Structure 1
Amino acid sequence: MIAGTLLFMFVFNITLQRISLGALIIAMGMLVDNSIVITDGILVRMQKGMKAKDASMAVVAQTIWPLFGATIVAIFAFAAVGMSPDATGEYTRTLFLVIIISLTLSWFLAITVNPLICVQFMKMKDPSKKKKINIKMFEKLKARAKTKVKTKVKAKTGIKESGGGFMGWYKKVLAGSMNHRWITVGVLVGLLILSIYGYGKVTQAFFPSSGQPQFLVDYFMAEGTDINTTERDVITIEQYFMDDEIFPEIRYVSSFVGASPPRFQLTFTPESPNPRLGQFLIEVYDPATIPDVLKRIQTHLDENYPQGTSQAYRFQLGPGAKGLINARFSGPDPDVLRAISLQVRRIFYETGNAVAIKDDWGDRAKVIRADIDERAAREVGITRPQINRALQGSFNGLTVGLYRENHRLIPIISRPPFGERADSTALYDLFVWSPVLQTQIPLTNLVKDFELVWEDTRIQRRDRMRTMEITCDPLSGEASDLFAEVRPLIEAIELPPGFSLEWGGQYEDSGNANAGIAKTFPLAFLAMLLTIFVLWNSVKQPIIIFLSVPLSLIGIVAGLLLTGFPFSFMGLMGMLALFGMVIKNAIVLVDEIDLTLKGGGDRFTAIVDASATRVRPVMMAALTTVFGMSPLVSDLFFQGMAISVMGGLTVAAVITLIATPVFYAMFFGIKEGEEHLPPDQIEADSGIPDIPVGIEAPADT
């Protein structure tokens, strides 16, 4: 099945990367579910005396469509995330595609290849080969068995309690649960309510940080800083990072000035080109040392480079690597926005757990503003754009051409020497060309005065409205905890009319991801519901099956609380996948109960016996999935999913084997004592058949 999955991945051009490899590991735990059901059914029938070929044909005929429906339900459980229109859906889509391929192959091979293997390799001893049994020894064995195992016959139900063994214990527990069904339901509802309460104690997260040995450091100087000044600071900082006595953990440092490196991975978003930007890509020998290195770097930059704003951070295994807490204010007045920004940043600082506190407008820059005499300019035919161009050419420079170097086009900029550009008195010696007079006009003739002012060098807009984003990141712990602390304080700020607050960052990314799932989950749920209704053409059985789904939350919350892992977006995906697995187990169980009830007899006993026959395949399928997910516990990306599935399925498998039969008995009004056989017609079973003396006993099978 794995080889077939890889083949189809090649055909559909699905590459091997973190998501698809994780999907393969998840699939390895789920692939054997269908095969377990088929193999167990064949084994049970062969133990009852059927030939291997007949048993295989009977089991496949009975389970082909229930297993197909269960497989479709499991696939649709992953569809909500895989088909999400959000960026997270694009990021995790290959997981959904690999699950489709692997589970479809699992069903097809389970009904074709698996029976063939069972016929070839599963052999039972021939009952016709009899062996002599010493009569005296047999009598002693029979007497010992009768003294140790006391057959108890329940006159009402006809359930035979042979005592001993896990299966006998399970039947007793199930029968007791069905007899006290309302108490059982009350206990399950109580556990569900307790798990809902416990969910509030679980730490929330979106995507975890990456475990790769690289991280980034951003360094922003004040607005209007020349790129050469930025470069000098970047060189000094780089030399500090490369000092082996200070940072023996660091292996390589790559520095970038004025722009970020190209987008070398999906979750990395480069900064916009800016002369005040310096960025460092740092690689360490051991990823485990990154938290300590980040803290030391951040402390050094904050203490020794107050002229800049710095942030050291790890890559994220999903959207949003920085600016996890983002308060977005919109309004018409820049001065009011800056006043609000000051209040928000003060709140961030006072928490003591916030770093990289900044807004996206930056500081105001000191500029020289020319008060142009419009009348004098019109008299000589000079416009504002012409004056602006003359000022730009004398200080920043003008692009006069392009230089081609291989495939690169490098701009050629004309400007005066640095000594002339650095002196503001050069404004009084500047001339502007007049196309009307065909001569140079002194700038002083066109300007009333020059004034030194502070102005916004960058104004961001969102939906055509001036918008300022104030961001920070947690120094330690999860961003959700810091967000819960600052949110009520920031929302308590009184905003003037025309101003509004909107939350961005991780809160917005998580909301968008959940909204994307909310759009696709109803369709996926409807598809699962229709699949089950088509299988039974009834209402009661699908309701019974879906009642087991909420109970899986008990195991999820218990697993997260015991391990201390946060509930992330991948944990949500694992929970949706778990719903499909629980429904799959319930389908197999309800189908077996329906089949047993068709045979007639005591319905209460039939439910108990049918449920007992499903214990082995349900538990084996759960264990294989749990063990299959166990390698993902150490992976930071799939950690939440693994814990959700492992904890949830472990508890859900046990609860399903109890809750589903109880719900079945409740919905169909099956009670103890109906349609029971008279006591004299019940065959007592001591575990060893009565064999007349002198008759050869059949060999053990």
Structure 2
Amino acid sequence: RPQQGAGQIYCGAVSRAYRSLLAACLRHRTLAMGALFAALAVSAAGFLSVPQSFFPDSARTKFYIDYWRNSASHIDETAGDMRQIAAYVSKLPGIRNVTEFVGAGSLRFLFSYDVNSPSPDYGQLVMETDSVEDIDALTPQIEEFLARNFPSADAMVLRFSDVICIPSKVAVRFSGPDSDVLRELAAQAKEIMRQSGHARHIRDDWRPPVKTSRILYSELKGRSSGITRKDLAQSLQWNFSGVACGAFREGDELIPIISRPVREERSFSQLSSVQVWNAAGRNLPLEAVTNGFETVWVAPQIWHRDRIPTITAQCSEWGVNAAQLRDEIKEKIGSIPLPPLYTMEWAGEYEQKEEALEGVRATFPFFMLLMFLMLMSLFRTLREPVLAFCAIPFALIGVVAGLLVTGKSFGFMAILGFLGLTGMLLKNSIVLLDQIGLELKKGRPPYAALVEASVSRLRPVTMAAGTTVLGILPLLFDVFFDAMAATIVFGLLAATLLTLIVIPVGYALAFGVREPRKDS
């Protein structure tokens, strides 16, 4: 069989079409490059319409309810509410299993699961559905039931995450010395969240204040009767909570035996008649060692950050993603006047994303510089490496188009995909520029070398990009990797095709290569 020459190999329909397009672009190089940069500018403007996020939700068929009663609630009251909620949820279509937890949440069965502090007013319900789609359909029904039947409770229906758990993705933190001022600042922030119309689960992490009776211990009466504060505290504990006085063994389990008065003697009306015992075994009524009691409002919990009282106003998104909700309320919350010594900072998903990207921002320039130095060592000039790096931004055209078409958000996984895309695009540029150098070494005129090198590398460059796209394409349908796959697939397709134009046209502009006149 006769061997095909180079002229026959690159004379197919695709090669001829590419040769004609390349010749036209080289002939009108300034116009062609201007059109490419205009397309890049349009894509940069379109990037503002791409949804922003951090990590996607998990593809697990499990979701859960975090439930808080009033902070002064007894654990039996919480258990009653959880039984009522579980009875309703278990009857919903699509629910396979329901597990109740009272006083504390589930054990950490998932690394990214957020464990809440144990509390008698806290309960959790973990539910399993037949499919992931059922979660989106069931969530509004469950939230409507909770709002109708438990209006005073703080309840959230949440999904699990495979990477990091952020129950309230939009959060703002206020720090300062006075707790009352902090509550007022948080109240203003929560009101702005309510006005947005896209926020739900609006709350703060200090919980509402509760009414507490405070015993006023008298030092003078205590000394005269030999009863200390410790004696008073132990007597109150025995009277209301009870004290373990033994253990009952049942099989291999030890059940504590609690000693305390009967229910009628544990009521608040009997507080003044509580007997207080001292170390000598003498007992006196409570009123004999106190100056009465007072009822005050106290915060059930006060969080500190760097030893400074800090309150966090937080909410979840509804109908938009967390970044869009934050952008909507950012200006209004930022305009809240802060007294001296008080600070405000954004928390939630925004803070976690910034912390995750901080390491990338710190190391990425170093590796880009390293790649640039490698290209300089390969070509031993400055213009070819600069030209190769100039082709990278044009991947944004395909990335923006792909994310808008597929409806994916530009999150952390998409950022990783774009960073990996830079290496793939540099490979295509190196192949083209290296072939141009080989054609020039053969003695070809610059224009002919530019065209023939580009046409000869058309098939290897497109085939390499095509195989990469086919390998990543299955990830486009995965819940976790879909945004990264869309970034690589569409970015690589668009950038590969544009690189076949950008590199030759840029080379012609950088080195002054022009099409020879016909009479020559």
Shift of residue 403, structure 1, vs aligned partner: 8.4
**Is 1:367 aligned to residue 215 of structure 2?**
no
**Is 1:232 aligned to residue 80 of structure 2?**
yes
In 2 relative to 1, CA 531–242 (structure 1 residues): closer, same or farther, beyond 3 Å? same
Query: CA separation in 2, counterparts of 1:407 and 1:464?
Result: 44
Q: Tell me, yes or no, if the aligned pair for 1:252 and 1:284 is still in contact at 8 Å.
A: yes
In structure 1, the partner of 2:475 is 632
SS of 1:192 mapped into structure 2: helix
Offset from partner CA, 1:321-379 (integer Å, 9 cap, x none): 41011121111111122222222222222223322111111111121111121222234
**Is 1:304 aligned to residue 149 of structure 2?**
yes
**Is 1:206 aligned to residue 59 of structure 2?**
no
In 2 relative to 1, CA 586–397 (structure 1 residues): closer, same or farther, beyond 3 Å? farther
Query: CA separation in 1, counterparts of 2:390 and 2:190?
Result: 48
In 2 relative to 1, CA 526–378 (structure 1 residues): closer, same or farther, beyond 3 Å? farther
Query: CA separation in 2, counterparts of 1:556 and 1:479?
Result: 21
Offset from partner CA, 1:531-564 (integer Å, 9 cap, x none): 3233233322211111111111111111122222
Letter of the 1:429 partner, please give it: S
Match of 1:492 among 330, 335, 338: 335
In structure 1, the partner of 2:129 is 284
Query: CA separation in 2, counterparts of 1:523 and 1:418?
Result: 72
Q: How does 1:588-599 map to 2 (within 5 A)?
A: 588-599=431-442
Structure 2 residue runs of 5 or longer lacking an equivalent are none
Q: Tell me, yes or no, if the aligned pair for 2:475 and 2:482 is still in contact at 8 Å.
A: yes
In structure 2, the partner of 1:174 is 22
Which is worse superposed, 583-592 or 438-447? 438-447
Q: How does 1:650-661 map to 2 (within 5 A)?
A: 650-661=493-504
Shift of residue 389, structure 1, vs aligned partner: 3.1
Letter of the 1:480 partner, please give it: A
SS of 1:550 mapped into structure 2: helix
In 2 relative to 1, CA 307–601 (structure 1 residues): closer, same or farther, beyond 3 Å? closer
Query: CA separation in 1, counterparts of 2:281 and 2:259?
Result: 22
Shift of residue 421, structure 1, vs aligned partner: 6.5
Q: Tell me, yes or no, if the aligned pair for 2:239 and 2:261 is still in contact at 8 Å.
A: no
Q: Tell me, yes or no, if the aligned pair for 2:175 and 2:311 is still in contact at 8 Å.
A: yes
**Is 1:430 aligned to residue 274 of structure 2?**
yes
In 2 relative to 1, CA 398–169 (structure 1 residues): closer, same or farther, beyond 3 Å? same
Query: CA separation in 2, counterparts of 1:637 and 1:659?
Result: 33
In structure 2, the partner of 1:614 is 457
Letter of the 2:271 partner, please give it: L
SS of 1:532 mapped into structure 2: helix
In 2 relative to 1, CA 551–399 (structure 1 residues): closer, same or farther, beyond 3 Å? farther
In 2 relative to 1, CA 577–403 (structure 1 residues): closer, same or farther, beyond 3 Å? farther
- How many residues are aligned here? 517
Q: How does 1:248-647 map to 2 (within 5 A)?
A: 248-398=93-243, 412=256, 414-417=258-261, 419-420=263-264, 422-435=266-279, 439-647=282-490
In structure 2, the partner of 1:81 is none
Q: Tell me, yes or no, if the aligned pair for 1:315 and 1:321 is still in contact at 8 Å.
A: no
In 2 relative to 1, CA 466–543 (structure 1 residues): closer, same or farther, beyond 3 Å? same
Shift of residue 186, structure 1, vs aligned partner: 1.4
Offset from partner CA, 1:566-602 (integer Å, 9 cap, x none): 2111111111111111111111111111112111121
Q: Tell me, yes or no, if the aligned pair for 2:57 and 2:160 is still in contact at 8 Å.
A: yes
Shift of residue 405, structure 1, vs aligned partner: 9.3
Q: Which has the larger radius of gyration?
A: 1
Shift of residue 420, structure 1, vs aligned partner: 4.7
Superposition CA RMSD, Å: 2.6
In 2 relative to 1, CA 612–427 (structure 1 residues): closer, same or farther, beyond 3 Å? same
Offset from partner CA, 1:633-668 (integer Å, 9 cap, x none): 211111111111111111100111111122222223
Letter of the 2:277 partner, please give it: W
Query: CA separation in 2, counterparts of 1:406 and 1:535?
Result: 77
Q: Tell me, yes or no, if the aligned pair for 2:52 and 2:409 is still in contact at 8 Å.
A: yes
Query: CA separation in 1, counterparts of 2:251 and 2:311?
Result: 41
Offset from partner CA, 1:71-109 (integer Å, 9 cap, x none): xxxxxxxxxxxxxxxxxxxxxxxxxxxxxxxxxxxxxxx
Shift of residue 625, structure 1, vs aligned partner: 1.6
Query: CA separation in 2, counterparts of 1:401 and 1:462?
Result: 41
Query: CA separation in 2, counterparts of 1:401 and 1:581?
Result: 71
Structure 1 residue runs of 5 or longer lacking an equivalent are 1-45, 50-158, 680-701
Higher RCO (C-alpha 8 Å, min separation 6): 1
Shift of residue 214, structure 1, vs aligned partner: 1.0
Q: Tell me, yes or no, if the aligned pair for 1:434 and 1:440 is still in contact at 8 Å.
A: yes
SS of 1:320 mapped into structure 2: coil
Q: Tell me, yes or no, if the aligned pair for 1:222 and 1:308 is still in contact at 8 Å.
A: yes
Query: CA separation in 2, counterparts of 1:636 and 1:214?
Result: 15
Q: Tell me, yes or no, if the aligned pair for 1:324 and 1:479 is still in contact at 8 Å.
A: yes
Q: Tell me, yes or no, if the aligned pair for 1:204 and 1:567 is still in contact at 8 Å.
A: yes
Normalising by structure 1, what TM-score? 0.70
Letter of the 1:633 partner, please give it: L
Match of 2:40 among 154, 167, 192: 192
In 2 relative to 1, CA 241–164 (structure 1 residues): closer, same or farther, beyond 3 Å? closer
Offset from partner CA, 1:293-325 (integer Å, 9 cap, x none): 001000100111123111112112432341011
SS of 1:368 mapped into structure 2: strand
Letter of the 1:167 partner, please give it: S
Query: CA separation in 2, counterparts of 1:406 and 1:627?
Result: 62
Q: Tell me, yes or no, if the aligned pair for 1:207 and 1:568 is still in contact at 8 Å.
A: yes
Which is worse superposed, 441-450 or 224-233? 441-450
Query: CA separation in 1, counterparts of 2:252 and 2:472?
Result: 49
In 2 relative to 1, CA 192–407 (structure 1 residues): closer, same or farther, beyond 3 Å? farther
Query: CA separation in 2, counterparts of 1:478 and 1:47?
Result: 57
Shift of residue 282, structure 1, vs aligned partner: 0.5
Shift of residue 400, structure 1, vs aligned partner: 6.2
SS of 1:184 mapped into structure 2: helix
Q: Tell me, yes or no, if the aligned pair for 1:268 and 1:321 is still in contact at 8 Å.
A: no
Query: CA separation in 1, counterparts of 2:40 and 2:309?
Result: 47
In structure 2, the partner of 1:25 is none
Offset from partner CA, 1:596-628 (integer Å, 9 cap, x none): 211112111011101111100111111112222
Normalising by structure 2, what TM-score? 0.93
SS of 1:294 mapped into structure 2: helix
SS of 1:367 mapped into structure 2: strand
In 2 relative to 1, CA 219–350 (structure 1 residues): closer, same or farther, beyond 3 Å? same
Offset from partner CA, 1:22-45 (integer Å, 9 cap, x none): xxxxxxxxxxxxxxxxxxxxxxxx
